[in-house]
Amino acid sequence: MGGDYFSAIGLPLIKGRFFNDHDAQAAPRVVIVSQSLARHFWPHDDPIGKRLKPGFSNDPWYTVVGIVGDAKQYSLDAPRLPAMYLPYAQSPSPFMMHNITIVVRTDSNPLGLVQAARHAVEAVDPDLPVFDVASMDQLVYRSVSAPRFNTVLLGVFAALALILATVGIYGVMSYSVTQHTHEIGVRMALGARESDILRQVIGHGMRRAAAGIAFGLAGALVLTRFLSSLLYGTPPVDAATFVAVSLLLAAVALVACYLPARRATKVHPMVALRYE
């Protein structure tokens, strides 16, 4: 690769130097390694000046002249693997140059430079094909398209589940309170105050709702580990989301208890006593 590759791709120089025009075919062989590779082979020594071989026994020795940051070479969900970088002019094996990727950095629209890049390659060798031209944003989108689709689909199902849970909680709690209309009428006829009735009904309903939310949180904590493969840069256990959903369901349960109980306390005791 050329000396400007690291600047174009955005890999920072940790130590040493980048490639330059002096790293030609006849010059001493040099290599730049990633930070993780340097830690792996020389955890307690300075890697600059150390020598290594790219892979084959008949390959020459290369001297480390620089250390750069780690990069994800294949996809965003893949780990950062140790890597070494060789100058294009000093590549040891012909098959390594079977496909060449040219990186162009610009502050303008990158796709607007496609024709200029094609003309530059044709000026060097008209028989070289130029293919798979894409911006970095497009490459990143390709890498995350499948996980993003799965995440969107999962988000839609989660939203539907939350809506169904909200409707279900409201319906069950409201029906449960309505079933106690006769009991509420008896208590009102015996002189119970409206605030006492509301406090008792809401307290009973919220205890049941709290138990359900607790069981739901426990189940969610167990199942979130299966979502790790669909997430990038986001922990599977998000405390803010858990708290927000729990508060929403608790609020729905509170409203579902309060409204029917409020209506029941407004009914005349004699009407409530005849309620079936």
What is the chain's pLDDT, residue by residue, as a tens digit (276 residues)? 555 788 888 888 999 899 888 888 888 889 999 999 999 899 888 999 998 887 666 778 889 999 999 888 777 767 788 888 888 877 766 555 567 778 888 777 877 778 888 888 888 888 888 888 887 878 777 777 777 787 788 888 888 988 888 888 788 877 877 777 777 777 777 777 878 878 888 888 888 888 888 888 888 888 777 766 666 556 667 788 888 888 888 888 888 888 877 776 776 666 655 655
Residue 216 — left, alpha, or beta (φ > 0 → left; ψ -120 to 50 → alpha)? Answer: alpha
Closest alpha carbon to 5 in 105, 80, 75, 112 = 105
Please report whether residue 137 resides in a domain: no
Distance from first CA to last CA of the chain, Å, rounded?
84
Residue 106 forms part of a structural domain: no
Q: In whole angstroms, how large is the CA radius of gyration of the chain?
A: 34
Does 124 reside within a domain?
Answer: no
Residues 149 and 70 in one domain: no
Same domain, 248 and 162: yes
- Total domains in the fold of the chain: 2
pLDDT confidence of residue 159: 86
149 with 259, same domain: the answer is yes
Q: Is 128 helix (H, G, I), strand (E, B) or coil?
A: coil
Same domain, 185 and 253: yes
| Range of the structural domain that residue 86 is part of | 5-101
Give a yes or no: residue 15 inside a domain: yes
> Quick one: DSSP state of residue 159?
H
CA atoms of 52 and 221, how far apart (whole Å): 47
Q: Are 94 and 10 in contact (CB under 8 A)?
A: no
Q: Give the domain-ending residue among 101, 120, 135.
A: 101
Residues 87 and 167 in one domain: no
- Shared domain for 86 and 179, answered yes or no, is no
Residue 203 CA to residue 233 CA, distance in Å, equals 41
Cα separation, 185 vs 276, whole angstroms: 11
**Residues 97, 153 within the same domain:** no
